[in-house]
Structure 1
């Protein structure tokens, strides 16, 4: 007979923790971890033969050894009496303040139907490894099940979506989380460490035997959310999935530039042009064909640079004159107004293309419903990261991943997955032209620095989303062709305009 616990107290929801085939030691450790907390029950599925102390908060559900995970857990969920249900992993424990903290956060977001938290684990040296997670990010979720071990679902959501699916052994929780995401369920991330694991492990890792199920789950999810392809699934939890490109829209590549020859890169060498170096790479490496290049050029360019640009690009080249004092934002605006492409690719003149399919990777994200922009991975010439997306923290904008060696996975593999960000650098960003015009382009109040930050925040304020991809890589020889100094008034201007938005830990978590 199934015994339910008492009704939840008025000041918080009852949480039913479901443990599948737990040992006696596992049950005791869970009871100890939860003993000082309120409003919980422990549903023990398939714990026949395990002796437990008398406790009305323990619910025993029979399940034969051969019963699949989805069926066994579904029986546990059916027997649960909680408002929320959490299917626990084989090891690890909720922290001593987990339920009180969850209660507090649910008061702020009462319509949340999916809840996940930060967590910690013990390293081999005895130290503690803390995992800080990104906030809800559906595109990252298709690349990585990064929600982790303490994952709560509202019980009525589970029932409304038909519970856990059969035939995807080992991937049931991932599948349900993706289904909940595409159903429009409100997802709440609690940026507090509320689960402790006994050993470090990859977030979202899968047993090799489950990878076929993971592939099927992702294929179903992509088909239900606009299409895409699963290129590879991996036991470390990082899956290579890509979104499709719809049509072949004209891309206007807008490059503000002085178009002048610079000093030779080597003693005795010929004068060097970063612009021409970028254009040669664009022509020689880029696989996307339907583009034009709009050069916004100062009034005194070197004729040799213009001549070579014309030879490289032919009728793809549009030259726009700019005869005012330096103002990157004004030059960018003029370039966009003279562009005719459906999408604008803002590009600095001091870059080098690495990935031939860089435009395709950016475009596949920029075409997503509600997308405002897409950005890429940029490296300094010493092969360290310059840009993995924008991060706005404590009133100060910066780049994610600054000076991390190229090839590093990043925290929780963040440099290996496509993901939502708060903004991307104008050194290389792709966006719908209509979005740029809707927000009024870049503000000319910021001629040198932070004009792209201001633009990103205007786009976000209108409800558009920004994405970043590691599948588009470029070198950025930053500020080789302009003065890179940040003036105090530029930071002050940005702060006056956006003080309320210059703290966005949900996109790149910092310790609270």
Structure 2
């Protein structure tokens, strides 16, 4: 990783662009702001990849109060030097938080920043007058062409596309022409059967806000936040050939129809473009009849496909989406594995939080049928306080606690493998000693997912001690598979419609709190011991996905993760070697960020902000 050069540190005077950069800094120090601005502009034109000239330009704009221009320049610095993205992130994070009239990007993309993106960076759509080449059937406005709602046999249109548009939704001018253009430039020879798009909302004054940049399709993500309700586009001959009926006339019944169609496995294409506006939603805490109808439809569908759900209910706090609960067998033993070396100040709160939130399971009296055994892997502890702590907990839990002594070098994968082979539980929970559970029910929620046959690894939402998100899933394929979406955002953030508040599929989950079936871990060959510290959890997620299992994060499981905030994971002595191992074994997969991360969301910023074109307004990259 390159060492960052701050705007006040010297750079070698090589190349005309760098010389202009140095001259600009001297002019800025002497108060000749306009001269410095022109020098930096020329430097950026000569060398768009230097990066630090863009950063200095952003500083000048920020000092002059031109906050939107400053944001554009900061973004250009990141785009110019992706190899230094993490260091540049640190240089610009606090500055970007003050951009946009006081809006803090640590809360997510606000209306001022979003309007800036719309004005400067949103890709333009074709002109509204662009002629359409294909047949388009709007189920809202052209329904007279479709007198029957039970069969396609008497329909006038036998081919083309069915546009299922929510009654209150508004298509952007040129939206359908944009879909046609996207279909024409595709390299794949096949036509999709279903097309989905991104969307935003209109406020009462007609102003755009609250964008929803969506991931590609994964079942759990769609079930919890169905994203086809505002607009979905279906290939008519595919619907007819699969024996699927036309949609029902009542929009409240559309989700049931969409679930029926999705069960036939259509080829899906998600266009990363905002093509439709949704009307504002009123979050009152009351559940609408439409939401209850859709919840019942989703519950019926899940049971029909074999999912052992106990309840599907509308998400009251968010106003959209659903909470889904799965059943647990009457008897299920989970082995909790906690590697630890001294640090009784961390281990004691971790054990106490387990007692406070899962005492019934520890005592074997959980009404949900979940029982726990604890395995503490003591990796060479020397402190008397640690020995005393373990003695006390051994007295409390008896046979429910096993202490395994291992004095070898720290290797997280090996320590967990040894304990997992000895564990008696059907489920394994790998838990760091620096985590603390915050509320009851989290273990049951994770177990309900881990017992599903389709699921691989199950993760929790981890927060820093200040309450900000530390982990809500790992988006494999973004920033070499170490991308943690929504990091440092508050738990109640609204980015991507509050995605981390819902059950969501990800490429991998962190090993700091990971549950999976013991038989499944044995099936994939245990944890990779060639990765003693970094990326072992990501590598496991990749192997599970390779076998067809899905990894999910459960929003009902929220734990505090204490040590990670003080440890710089990007400067670990073993990180470079581990990264090289991952690239050599999983290189092609690490360059594919779908379906986890939205196409329009930046890969350099965890807060979910959209991708922006580098440079000042009007500037376009050459590559």
Please give the TM-score of this superposition, normalised by the length of structure 2.
0.65
Matched, 1:248 2:331: yes
CA contact (8 A) 1:255 1:335 kept: no
Mapping 1:147-166, distance limit 5 Å: 147-159=228-240, 160-164=242-246
Q: Deviations over 1:20-67 (max 9, x none)?
A: xxxxxxxxxxx98474231123457777xxxxxxxxxxx95387xxxx
Contact 1:133–1:147 (CA<8 Å) still a contact in 2? no
Q: What are the equivalent positions in structure 2 for 1:202-221 lying under 5 Å apart?
A: 208-221=288-301
Q: Could you tell which deviates more after superposition, 276-285 or 341-350?
A: 276-285
SS of residue matched to 1:250: strand
Give the alignment partner of residue 411 of structure 1, picking from 496, 499, 504.
496
Secondary structure of the residue aligned to 1:217 is helix
Task: Give the structure 2 partner of residue 506 of structure 1.
Answer: 595
Alignment of 1:426-441 (within 5 A): 426-441=511-526
- 2 CA distance for matches of 1:191 and 1:62? 27
8 Å CA contact 2:229–2:254 kept in 1: the answer is no
2:135 alignment counterpart: 40
Q: 1:230 aligns with which of 311, 336, 339?
A: 311
Correspondent of 1:495 among 562, 575, 583:
583
Aligned to 1:176: 257
Over aligned residue pairs, what C-alpha RMSD do you find? 3.3
SS at match of 1:406: coil
Partner of 1:145: 226
CA distance in 1, matches of 2:547, 2:472: 23
Q: Deviations over 1:182-232 (max 9, x none)?
A: 33x134132421613276669xxx993423421331231122132313353
- Residues 246 and 83 of structure 1, relative CA distance in 2, 3 Å threshold: farther
Q: Is residue 198–residue 276 contact of structure 2 (8 Å, CA) maintained in 1?
A: no
- After alignment, is 73-82 or 429-438 more displaced? 73-82
Match of 1:84 among 150, 161, 183: 161
Q: 1:216 to 1:130 in 2, by over 3 A?
A: closer
1:389 Cα deviation from its structure 2 partner:
0.6
Q: What is the aligned counterpart of 1:376 among 460, 478, 489? A: 460
Take 1:415 and 1:444, find their aligned partners in 2: how far apart are those partners? 30
Cα deviations by residue, 1:335-370 (Å, 9 ceiling, x for unpaired): 111112111111001111113111111111112222
Pair 1:62–1:95, CA change in 2 (3 A): closer
Task: Give the secondary-structure state (helix, strand or coil) at the position aligned to 1:78.
Answer: coil
Which SS does the other structure have where 2:586 is aligned?
helix
**Helix, strand or coil for the counterpart of 2:516?**
strand
**Counterpart selection for 2:445 from 338, 345, 361:** 361
Pair 441,45 (structure 1): closer, same or farther in 2 beyond 3 Å? closer
Query: Number of matched residues?
Result: 448
Q: Which runs of 5+ in 1 are unaligned?
A: 1-30, 48-58, 64-70, 263-271
Greater strand content? 1
Tell me, yes or no, if the aligned pair for 1:45 and 1:76 is still in contact at 8 Å: no
Distance 1:400 1:231, change over 3 A: same
Structure 1: which 4+ aligned runs deviate by more than 6 Å? 44-47, 71-77, 480-483
- Specify the alignment match of 1:67 in structure 2: none
How big is the shift at 1:384? 0.6
1:321 to 379, 385, 405: 405
Aligned residue for 1:223, secondary structure, equals helix
CA distance in 2, matches of 1:188, 1:129: 24
How many Å separate the matches in 2 of 1:245 and 1:282? 19
- The 5 A counterparts of 1:101-116 are 101-105=182-186, 108=188, 110=190, 112-116=192-196
Of stretches 413-422 and 298-307 in structure 1, the one that deviates more from structure 2 is 298-307
Q: Greater helix percent: which structure?
A: 2
Q: Would you say the 8 A contact 2:198–2:272 is kept in 1?
A: yes
Q: What SS does structure 2 have at the residue aligned with 1:411?
A: coil
In structure 1, the partner of 2:473 is 389
Q: Distance in 2 between matches of 1:409 and 1:34?
A: 35
The alignment partner of 2:498 has SS state of helix
Question: Counterparts of 2:551 and 2:412 in 1: how far apart (Å)?
Answer: 21
Does the CA contact (< 8 Å) of 1:255 and 1:295 recur in 2? yes
List runs of 5+ in structure 2 lacking aligned partners. Answer: 1-125, 365-370, 603-610, 612-623
User: Is residue 227–residue 244 contact of structure 1 (8 Å, CA) maintained in 2?
Assistant: yes
TM-score, length-scaled by structure 1:
0.78
